[in-house]
Amino acid sequence: MMKHKLFVKALWWKEYRQTRILLWLMLLASFFPIVYTHMWKLWWASKSMRDTFVKNVTYVFQDGRAGDNLYNDYGGGLIFIILGSFILSIWLLGQERRNQVNEHMFALPYPRWILYLTKWMIGIVYIVSAIVITLGLDFVVLASSHVSEYVSIGEIVVRGLHMIFVAVSIYTLTLFLGSFTGTWSMQALLFLLCMTLFDFLRFVIGKFVHIFMIPVSESAQSVIDIGVWDRFNVGNWVTHEGPGYSYGFISIVSILLLLAGMWLYSRNRTENNGKQFVFPAIEKAYIVLGVIFAALYGGTVGYDFFSPGRIGYVCGAGVGAVLCYLIIRTLTHMRPRR
């Protein structure tokens, strides 16, 4: 059995040349909401605004929570870095398929899982570089300002590690979605669904249970109430911070997504490029789940806006399911122009 190096210089150079503009965009996108904001508040704003900012930091610091005001701009920077990594994943997989570049990549003397792993690693390097450089510059700005005595390098490091963890997790997810989708548009759509699906399902399933008065046992209700399922809420991976963050669970999920992405990418068929899904089985599962979710949503709309009863729910569910099936079947049989 042949052994392959995980680091192939030629592949890294190829991916870097193809995507280096995104590294600079990620740096700029994180610089403005974090470093530039602090520079403006501490250096260029009017004296009254600077004094107000320093006063707020000082007031909060008395309670031992200086970070609440001093580092609350980091969340905006994280959002932009996640957006940049999302675009990077589309560029590396969805756009590559659109331009038929992967057909040439698959002809190289490297296993496909090495190609996928290289794409994943180049994204990790971009994310880490953008966050380390941005927070390093921000530390210099804060340490040379009127709030220097409240700056904690330890807290900046902890927050930076959290930002890296979140961005890497989301990037791993978006790259995984690209391993079985045939177009960048479907890859983007599935990511948006992942960000919102949990809250949507909790709402429509709760409505279904309420309308049909389905009894829920105490043991089942206790499982729902303890919030175990919130760990699957991808939106919470981004917005939640502090005690209770599921680092262990998200790490396991991310590792599984990485391995699954490598496995799926290794079995891609180039003749399916341009289709919404590379694998027919996944396309069928998408259709079935889409119809079920549309039926639940259609039933909720029918109950709330047309007839507040089970008949209204059933009629709405039927209309929603039929419309969704027709739309999905049309979309999945379209081959976008390359």
- Comparing C-alpha atoms, which of 120, 86, 119 is closest to residue 102? 119
pLDDT greater at residue 244 or residue 18:
18
The pLDDT of 19-44, averaged and rounded, is: 89
Given a contact cutoff of 8 angstroms between Cβ atoms, the answer to whether 276 and 309 are in contact is no
What are the residue boundaries of the structural domains of the chain, listed by start?
9-185+246-270
Q: Between the CA atoms of 281, 283, 288 and 289, what dihedral angle is there, to the nearest 10 degrees?
A: 110
Q: Which of 42-51, 224-233, 307-316 has the lowest mean pLDDT?
A: 224-233
Question: How high is the pLDDT of residue 131?
Answer: 95
- pLDDT classification of 7: cutoffs 50, 70, 90: confident
Q: What is the pLDDT of residue 243?
A: 65
106 confidence band (pLDDT: 50, 70, 90): low
> Lowest mean pLDDT: which of 60-69, 116-125, 192-201?
60-69
- Of the spans 14-28, 141-155, 237-251, 253-267, which averages the highest pLDDT? 253-267
Three-state secondary structure call for residue 209: helix
pLDDT at residue 289, rounded to an integer: 92
pTM of the complete model: 0.86
Judged on CB neighbours under 10 Å (0-12, 13-18, 19+), 278 is buried
When pLDDT is averaged across residues 50-64 and rounded to a whole number, the result is 66
Helix or strand (DSSP H, E) at 200: helix 184-211
Tokens 């610091």 appear where? 61
Quick check: 302 and 315 in contact, CB under 8 A?
yes
What's the pLDDT score for residue 277? 86
Query: How far, in Å, CA of 22 to CA of 81, rounded?
Result: 10
Least confident of 83-87, 91-95, 249-253: 91-95
For 231-263, b/e burial (b = at least 16 CB within 10 A) is: ebbbebbbeeeeeebbeeebeebbeebbeebbe
Q: pLDDT at residue 58 above 80?
A: no
> For 126-162, what is each residue's pLDDT tens digit?
999 999 999 999 999 988 887 788 788 888 998 999 9
User: Please, what is the average pLDDT of the chain?
Assistant: 82
Percent of the chain with pLDDT over 70: 82
What confidence tens digit (pLDDT) does each residue in 269-293 have? 766 666 788 888 998 999 999 999 9
